[in-house]
Structure 1
Amino acid sequence: MSTRRFPTRDELRIWRDYLETGDLVRASLAARLQRSSGLSPGDYAVLLALSEAPGGRMRSSTLAETIGWERSRVSHHLGRMEKRDLIRRENCTTDNRGAEVVLAPAGQAAFQEATRPHLRDIREIFVDALTPEQLAAAGEIAAALRAQLAHPTAPRGLA
């Protein structure tokens, strides 16, 4: 019979600091993005994915996977973006059963206008707050967490 090991008090403090700081960083970036461009982080994620897609279009199921959202969430969000003329939904040219999300000219313009200020905000809020060593460590931490989530039973450092 194995005993379950729970986090120590210090480990839990670090965990809470990590969560709370991440929330503050995301909230600060979201507020600045909204203020400077009128786009939400969700809008920006959709527009970024579409701007990187061949022809500025992709299937909504692929979009959901690309940005890490459930398909129903993507569908509702796309409806709101479509009303603002940021995207269009068109029948899939290769498969009659699906629809493709297409980056509309207004969406492309909004994305281009939002990108420079957003990147400056990322630098100011995140990058400039850390030393080069801390930034590298943050990258290593993110990679270790992704590896653990991709292979939850693998021993640390081997995933």
Structure 2
Amino acid sequence: METNEARWLDEREREIWIALASLLIRVPSALHAQLQRDSGVTFFEYQVLAGLSEAPDRTLRMSILAVLADGSLSRLSHVVKRMEKVGWVTRRPDPEDGRYTLATLTDAGWDKLVDAAPGHVAEVRRLVFDPLSKAQQRQLQEIGRRIGEAAVAAEPEP
């Protein structure tokens, strides 16, 4: 008979976890607040605009964009629908496979991103890079990579 005995965190691990959990909550919240205040977009909307801006022809399948923006396809569809209404994004069936939908960043969407980017980058710099030495930044990169790989490995197969 197998038991599922928890491997409880020791005091040091608990403190590390609390610090990480706080970071995972506070940094996105601060970035969201800055973007809303200065540009009238959400952090998720910014991620959508940025993801499209870096794609060839500023176009991606919605399913790929959802992964890049770290959201569900349903959430992305609602956001892109709103972005279409203000002229930042267009959607059309993928000519290579009609089961997919392509999202394309318009010139107006590009302009919105260009307007929002300087404030966003300044806030990222203030929150993430300025408090750390170059060595700590490299450590953070490695830590983020390892934790990210562990999270991806733990995801269920589609």
> TM-score range, shorter-chain basis?
0.7 to 0.9
Match of 2:14 in 1: 12
Match of 1:157 in 2: none
Provide the TM-score with structure 2 as the length reference. 0.86
**What are the superposed Cα offsets for residues 48-84 of structure 1, whole Å, 9 maximum, x if unpaired?**
1111111111111121122232211111111122222
Is 56-65 or 1-10 further displaced after alignment? 1-10
**What are the superposed Cα offsets for residues 93-120 of structure 1, whole Å, 9 maximum, x if unpaired?**
2233332111122111000111122111
**How many residue pairs align between the two structures?**
152
Query: Distance between the aligned counterparts of 2:13 and 2:23, measured in 1?
Result: 15
Match of 1:156 in 2: none
Query: Distance between the aligned counterparts of 1:86 and 1:131, measured in 2?
Result: 38
Match of 1:88 in 2: 90
Pairs within 5 Å for 1:89-104: 89-104=91-106
For the pair 1:106 / 2:108, whether they are aligned, the reply is yes
Pairs within 5 Å for 1:14-33: 14-33=16-35
Query: Distance between the aligned counterparts of 2:91 and 2:54, measured in 1?
Result: 17
**Two-structure CA RMSD over aligned residues (Å):** 1.8
Q: Of 46, 59, 62, which aligns to 1:60? A: 62
Residue segments in structure 1 that go unaligned for 5+ positions in a row: 153-159
Q: Of 119, 122, 136, which aligns to 1:120? A: 122
Residue segments in structure 2 that go unaligned for 5+ positions in a row: none
Provide the TM-score with structure 1 as the length reference. 0.85
3-state secondary structure, aligned to 1:126? helix
